[in-house]
Amino acid sequence: MAWKCSELSAAQLRKHAVSPSKLSLLGLVRHLTDVERGWFARTLGGTNAPAFYWRADRSAGAVADAVVKRVGG
């Protein structure tokens, strides 16, 4: 994923794959981060790890914008 996303601009990372869909490369990377972190915490650590990016009170777009700003987009 890092290789695929490394040369994309912030706008390209936020771009939705298909107009009615909320799927973007940035969203996919965030999802994989939370799923992998949770799996390792449960499987290897026996604990629950809170999600970094997903929150019930925030839209996917708000989280994506915050992440892009943080990484310099």
pLDDT tens-digit map of 33-66: 888 988 888 899 888 888 877 777 765 555 555 5
Q: What's the token pair of residue 50?
A: 């809170």
Q: How far apart are CA 32 and CA 10, in angstroms?
A: 18
Q: How many Cβ atoms are within 10 Å of 2's Cβ, its own excluded?
A: 6
Q: Cα angle vertex 71, ends 69, 73, to 5°?
A: 55
Residue with the larger pLDDT of the pair 4 and 43: 43
With pLDDT > 90 as the criterion, what percentage of the chain qualifies? 0
- Quick one: average pLDDT of 67-71? 54
Can you give the pTM of this predicted structure? 0.55
